[in-house]
Amino acid sequence: MISKKELNLYLLNGYITPNWKLSSKQISDLIKNVEKLISDNKHCRPEQIVCPHMKGGTMGDLKGDTYNYFIKLAYTKEIIQLLTPILGQNIILWGSQVFCKPPKDGMAVPMHQDSHYWPIKPMSTCSVWIAIDKSSKINGCLKVISKSHKENFIHGKSQTGTALNSGIPLKILKDKKIDYIILEPGQLSLLDATLIHGSDANHSTFRRAGIVFRYMNSNSLFDRKHENHHQKDGHEVNYSKRPIWLIKGHSGKNTLVKNIN
């Protein structure tokens, strides 16, 4: 559970790193499964492995059987306890992504607000970003603009060689203070959907891998009619048929809801 002080910091700044981390066994299982996922899917950039918790991913082209592991990880009791003060008693898992930046080759993620792309109405969602490797400025850790979650910013086409189609133009960001989220393996960060965040390219000799799970309050609607879009890697994001998972409580008016319990 996060403390009242941590909850207030999350509401104020748009993110927190709670005082909890995965156990050594959980970390070694996570490393093993991410490495298997990447080696089973050499056709994907490792920063762009979308929905590894779903059999076949969102397009049916993700190979291997690690989805069994990732969906169970999303139900980890302690992670859900951290989320509950933020999202309430009714929670759905609707997405996930592995962002693994190989040494010397990892792509930058342009500064963006996730709410710009997402089909959730109203936007009551929280991302749990879990560090698989030590993540610091050297290997392209997450960077955020604290308190930026109160406002919507325009997005434009992103530079070539970055992991997303669009980002916030650099001229808008130039005077804003950047905070770097430095994490040990197994530590995690909770991020508001509207917080401006991104990460630099990895020029170091150390891998920087993380996995993010996307949760929403199930009183919000996962809108099946939201416009589809195409990612840079040719991956089509199609929200109309994606299954989502009930983590706790009720599923509200949401459709295509599964449950592993």
Ligand X SMILES: O=C(O)CCC(=O)C(=O)O
Helix, coil or strand: residue 222: strand
Tell me if 212 contacts ligand X by CB under 6 A: yes
Distance CA 150, CA 223 (A): 22
Distance CA 131, CA 164 (A): 20
The first and second tokens of residue 211, run together, are: 């996995």
Alpha carbons within 13 angstroms on the beta-carbon side of residue 108 total 16
Q: Which of 10, 15, 118, 129 binds ligand X (CB under 6 A)?
A: 129
Other residues' Cβ atoms within 10 Å of the Cβ of residue 177: 8
Minimum distance from residue 258 beta carbon to ligand X (Å): 22
Tell me if 109 contacts ligand X by CB under 6 A: yes
Nearer to ligand X, 62 or 196 (CB): 196
Nearer to ligand X, 199 or 220 (CB): 199
Q: Which of 10, 15, 99, 215 binds ligand X (CB under 6 A)?
A: 99
Cis previous bond, 122, omega within 30: yes
Distance CA 126, CA 122 (A): 12
Tell me if 142 contacts ligand X by CB under 6 A: yes
Which residues inside 180-199 make contact with ligand X, applying CB under 6 A? 197, 199
Nearer to ligand X, 62 or 109 (CB): 109
Q: Which residues bind ligand X (CB under 6 A)?
A: 99, 109, 114, 127, 129, 142, 197, 199, 210, 212
